[in-house]
């Protein structure tokens, strides 16, 4: 695909559509599908392109679509953001191995690893537990619960990052569950949704350590260029050599899997286009409450209101990096003084 370039790729897929599209419709007709064949439409048709552009421009002009840098569901195999609906959450109750696209051997899940961070200016250490040890390369803090008496003495302290050779802070946050693991949590704002929120509350550095293909980059030192799951093993081996590996144990977990490819999804910080859902959710709740929209069966009304209630919804990422799709009708404009803005137009 990248060898061809976008324009040539779209041209080739168009040829495939012209060759196969009619056959697929013919097969549906032979199967007896009762459809209005006069209304056949193609997703990439000029009419649909006009509808997509019109809707995007209207929503952007109305302040409902905006561009921002946030964590998204990222598929390294697709090299694209995907929606929440395209993520399958797989429950893993014990040590399990998955085949992952783009990696040549099964990857282990269902294991919690304990890692020691040495407290600066002390002979003590704080042990964090994680199912994704490769992400420690992007840790910019560790957190403890304010009411956990075990760690009162470490409030405001610093710990030493063994790979980046720098100090990172110990922060106090009620997000931490004192009963989970050791009660000390590593904070990787650029690669975990909860960590992002903790990082924002405490002003922690945001450090991305993976590229779009799932390889380690940035301040990963000797791990730069490694596939994320190769780095997972290598980080544990290096920690063992440094005397900072504190063991592992089976741990139930949920693995986010891309519904299209079977790839393991990575939360990744990317500049994307988002739709503000707060107003839309409010309108949807009002429609059901005022009975302008009636749900059948009635019992789903409670689920509807709970899912779309105040503070429950997240803004939707509407960007995709796939080439066979409608391009966002937005353009970056730079003023003579260097200021930048985005304009939607078609």
- Which of 282 and 234 is assigned the larger pLDDT? 234
pLDDT at position 23, please?
86
Instruction: Give mean pLDDT, residues 7-16.
Output: 88
Residue 32 scores a pLDDT above 90: yes
Query: Contact 254/90 with Cβ under 8 angstroms?
Result: yes
Q: Is the pLDDT of residue 309 over 80?
A: no
Tens of pLDDT, residues 157-192: 999 999 999 999 999 999 999 988 899 999 999 999
Is residue 89 scored above 70 in pLDDT? yes
320 and 81 Cβ atoms separated by less than 8 Å: yes
Q: Is-above-0.85 flag for pTM?
A: yes
Q: Which residue has the higher pLDDT, 121 or 346?
A: 121
Q: Give the β-pairing of 141-144 and 166-172.
A: parallel
Question: Mind giving me the DSSP string for 302-342?
Answer: HHHHHHHSTTT--PEE-----SSSPPP-EEEEE-TTS-EEE
What is the pLDDT averaged over residues 231-254?
A: 96
Q: What is the mean pLDDT of residues 320-335?
A: 90
Give the percent of the chain with pLDDT over 90: 74
pLDDT digits (tens, 9 = 90+) for 97-109: 999 998 999 999 9
Q: What angle do CA 42, 47, 82 make, to 5 degrees?
A: 60
Task: Let me know: does 75 contact 263? Beta carbons within 8 Å.
Answer: yes
pLDDT at 138 over 90: yes
pLDDT at 38: 87
Distance CA 32, CA 22 (A): 16
Q: Rounded CA gap, 142 and 139, in Å?
A: 8
Tell me the sheet residues that pair with 258.
Answer: 87
Q: Is the pLDDT of residue 228 over 70?
A: yes
- What pLDDT is recorded for position 144? 97
Q: What is the pLDDT of residues 47-74, one digit of tens each?
A: 999 999 999 999 999 999 999 999 999 9
Rounded Cα distance between 306 and 196, Å, is 24
CA distance 299 to 316: 26
Q: Is the pLDDT of residue 273 over 90?
A: yes
What CA–CA distance (Å, rounded) separates 208 from 71?
Answer: 11
Residues 236, 133 contacting (CB under 8 angstroms): yes
Task: Say what the pLDDT of residue 306 is.
Answer: 83
Stretch 201-211: mean pLDDT, rounded?
A: 97
Q: Which of 324, 265, 259 has the alpha carbon at shortest distance from 75?
A: 265
Rg over alpha carbons for the chain, rounded to the nearest Å, is 24
What pLDDT is stored for residue 311 in this prediction? 67
Mean pLDDT of 244-263: 95
Using CB atoms within 10 Å of the CB of residue 185, give its burial: 0 to 12 exposed, 13 to 18 middle, 19+ buried. buried
If you average pLDDT over every residue of the chain, what do you get?
Answer: 93
Question: With bands split at pLDDT 50, 70 and 90, how would you rate the model's confidence at 212?
Answer: very high
Per residue, what are the HEC states of 52-87? HHHHHHHHHHCCCEEEEEEEEEEECCCCEEECHHHE
């Amino acid at each position: 695909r990248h060898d061809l370039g976008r324009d040539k790729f779209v041209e080739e897929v168009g040829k495939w559509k012209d060759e196969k599209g009619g056959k697929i419709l013919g097969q549906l007709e032979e199967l007896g599908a009762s459809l209005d064949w006069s209304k056949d439409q193609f997703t990439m048709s000029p009419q649909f392109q006009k509808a997509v552009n019109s809707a995007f421009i209207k929503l952007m002009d109305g302040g409902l679509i905006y561009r921002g840098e946030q964590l998204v569901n990222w598929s390294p195999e697709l090299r694209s953001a995907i929606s929440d609906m395209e993520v399958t959450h797989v429950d893993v109750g014990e040590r399990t191995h998955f085949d992952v696209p783009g990696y040549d051997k099964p990857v282990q899940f269902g294991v919690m690893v304990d890692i020691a961070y040495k407290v600066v200016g002390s002979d003590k250490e704080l042990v964090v537990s994680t199912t994704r040890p490769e992400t420690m390369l992007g840790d910019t803090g560790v957190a403890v619960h304010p009411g956990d008496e075990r760690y009162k003495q470490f409030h405001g302290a610093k710990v030493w990052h063994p790979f980046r050779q720098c100090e990172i802070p110990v922060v106090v946050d009620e997000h931490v569950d004192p009963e989970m693991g050791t009660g000390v949590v590593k904070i990787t704002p650029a690669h975990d949704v909860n960590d992002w929120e903790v990082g924002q509350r405490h002003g922690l550095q945001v450090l991305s350590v993976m590229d779009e293909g799932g390889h380690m980059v940035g301040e990963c030192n000797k791990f730069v260029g490694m596939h994320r799951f190769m780095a997972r093993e290598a980080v544990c081996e290096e920690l063992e050599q440094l005397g900072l590996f504190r063991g592992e144990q089976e741990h139930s977990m949920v693995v986010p899997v891309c519904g299209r490819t079977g790839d393991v999804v990575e939360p990744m910080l990317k500049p994307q286009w988002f739709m503000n859902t707060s107003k839309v959710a409010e309108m949807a709740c009002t429609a059901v409450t005022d009975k302008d929209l009636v749900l059948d069966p009635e019992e789903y009304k409670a689920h509807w209101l709970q899912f779309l209630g105040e503070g429950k919804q997240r803004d939707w990422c509407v960007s995709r990096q796939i080439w066979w799709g409608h391009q966002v009708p937005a353009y970056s404009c730079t003023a003579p003084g260097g200021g930048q803005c985005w304009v939607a137009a078609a």
